[in-house]
Chain A
Amino acid sequence: MMERIAETSPRFKARMAGVCQLMEAVTAAFGEVIIPGKLVVAGNAAATAANILGHERLFWLGFVLSVIGVGFHIAWALLMYELLDPVNRSLSRLAAFVILVGCAIQALASLLYLAPLLILQGGSSLSAFTAEQLQALALVFLRLNDYAFQVYLVFFGAWCLLIGYLIFRSTFLPRILGVLLAISGLGWVIYLYPPLAHRLWRIIDAASALGEVPVELWLIVMGVNAQRWKEQAGAAGASLRT
């Protein structure tokens, strides 16, 4: 297994990881934040329902982007696992498992994303409820989707923390990138207790931008130091054989 990884250029892998990270960031930002932000009016079920039904395509686009984001996230996670495996196999495996659980939550949450559309377009099959009740129910599902996203953020934060530590311990990526990523991960972990996270969201957002954008750019532009990566992979392989 070691040989196969070493044969594929680690620099190419790192660049692809950066590209996946960028694509994930863009799709998730539109799918989970920007498009719902345009359509959902907090606390106003009637206006939200009117927006969703009036911009059904945009709502669908948000849903689809959110699901595509999960796909990019899984690819990004796999590439980071292979890149950081030489640093510490157990910890990079732990990181991969943690983010897989996060991705599973995010994928399941797409059901909650779509539920409002089913409820609002239910027609006569849902006529046992008044229109206002259906609108309120749709908003409840949107709120639940928010919560699901926050649960995902907790696992994403734990992943960033682990990946940050591994980058710090690696010889082939700048240590400062690892420190910044770990700090941004700590920020997301605060979503364990959403009321606190909502008070600190400006700091969490700033930490996230400071932590994730440099890693993304570095991976895309610089990749990794291939020479050093092979040295560390060789050392890890040698220690396994003894």
Chain B
Amino acid sequence: MTDRTFEASPRPRARITGVVYLLYFLTAVLAVFFIRGLVVSGDAAATANNILAHERLFRLSVAVGLIGTALYIAVTVLFYGLFKTVNKTVSLLAAFFSLVGCAIQAFASLFQIAPLVVLEGSPYLSVFKVDQLHAVALMFIKLNVQAAYIYLVFFGLFNLLIGYLIFKSTFLPRILGVLMALSGLGWLTFLSPSLANRLLAYIEVLGIIAEASLMLWLLVKGVNVQRWKEQASAPVE
């Protein structure tokens, strides 16, 4: 597991990247799966009742989400190691964008836990009417969604730069880079959530196709070791 093995064999390292990427996907799907149907948009009372009735699932979703963030930090580090031979500055920039996205994502988990804090029924909260508390809980859920729009923009920048790096690299197929860059542009539309929500189906499909094909390629094919080594030993840009 030292860097020596990475230098000697980037292919296993590319495979590890694929595996961690896959695990990240699974946690992301699981986090959504746990709370599917719990939030009834516009109906604070129904949402509150659902959350209280499934408190454990709600907490599990938060926990799995945080594990997902940790895995994405690992993906970020692995991508940096993979692409720094292509362009060290751009790879580092990509990693920093992703880190800011991860920090926002982890912090946003607070807005997901906050509804439990106001709904748990502590006596000190009885100074508010029940429907006021329900409304506050729904407001926190909406803030959580808004926070997602912000971190998606940063992950969009990450995907865009990773797409560029793949395209410039000689050791991965260029089409994967094009797809990643396009998916990154898609996430950038969340700068205007109303536009993004109109295009949501396309953005999501594009995102899934781009990231799933990159993940599968890394998992199954790894990288072209010969070309990677050539690029690694080429003079630094």
Q: Which of A97, A112, A144 meets B73, CB within 8 Å? A: A97
Residues of B near A192 (CB, < 8 A) are 63, 66-67
Interface of B is mostly: helix
- Min CB gap B209→A, angstroms: 27
Interface status of A167 (Cβ within 8 A of chain B): no
Contact residues on B (Cβ < 8 Å of other chain), bracket: 35 or more
Interface status of B29 (Cβ within 8 A of chain A): no
Interface status of B157 (Cβ within 8 A of chain A): no
Query: Within the assembled complex, what's the spacing in Å between the Cα atoms of A44 and B124?
Result: 6
Query: Within the assembled complex, what's the spacing in Å between the Cα atoms of A143 and B76?
Result: 32
The reply to whether A90 and B81 contact each other, CB–CB distance below 8 Å, is yes
Q: Which of B60, B74, B81, B128 meets A136, CB within 8 Å? A: B128
Interface status of A88 (Cβ within 8 A of chain B): yes
The reply to whether B95 and A97 contact each other, CB–CB distance below 8 Å, is yes
Max chain B Cβ within 10 angstroms of own Cβ: one of A45, A148, A192: A192
Interface status of A210 (Cβ within 8 A of chain B): no
The reply to whether B107 and A195 contact each other, CB–CB distance below 8 Å, is no
Residues of A near B110 (CB, < 8 A) are 112, 144, 147-148, 151
Residues of A near B127 (CB, < 8 A) are 45, 130, 132-133, 135-136
Interface status of A94 (Cβ within 8 A of chain B): yes
The reply to whether B78 and A90 contact each other, CB–CB distance below 8 Å, is yes
Q: Which of B69, B78, B80 meets A101, CB within 8 Å? A: B69
Interface residues in A149-206 by Cβ distance below 8 A to B read: 151, 154-155, 158, 192-195
The reply to whether B118 and A195 contact each other, CB–CB distance below 8 Å, is no
Interface status of A124 (Cβ within 8 A of chain B): no
Q: A88-B2, A136-B128, A192-B63 are in contact. Are A43 and B80 (CB under 8 A)?
A: no
Binds A, one of B98-106, B177-185, B195-203: B98-106
Q: A98-B70, A195-B59 are in contact. Are A242 and B123 (CB under 8 A)?
A: no
The reply to whether B2 and A239 contact each other, CB–CB distance below 8 Å, is yes
Q: Which of A44, A105, A140 meets B107, CB within 8 Å? A: A105
The reply to whether B81 and A242 contact each other, CB–CB distance below 8 Å, is no
Q: Which of B63, B74, B80, B114 meets A144, CB within 8 Å? A: B114
Residues of B within 8 A of A (CB): 1-4, 6-7, 59-60, 63, 66-67, 69-70, 73-74, 76-78, 80-81, 95, 99-100, 102-103, 106-107, 109-110, 113-114, 117-118, 122-125, 127-128
Residues of A within 8 A of B (CB): 43-45, 87-91, 93-94, 97-98, 100-101, 104-105, 108-109, 112, 130, 132-133, 135-136, 139-140, 143-144, 147-148, 151, 154-155, 158, 192-195, 236, 239-240, 242
A-B contact pairs, 6 of them (CB 8 A): A90-B6, A104-B103, A135-B127, A139-B124, A143-B117, A144-B117
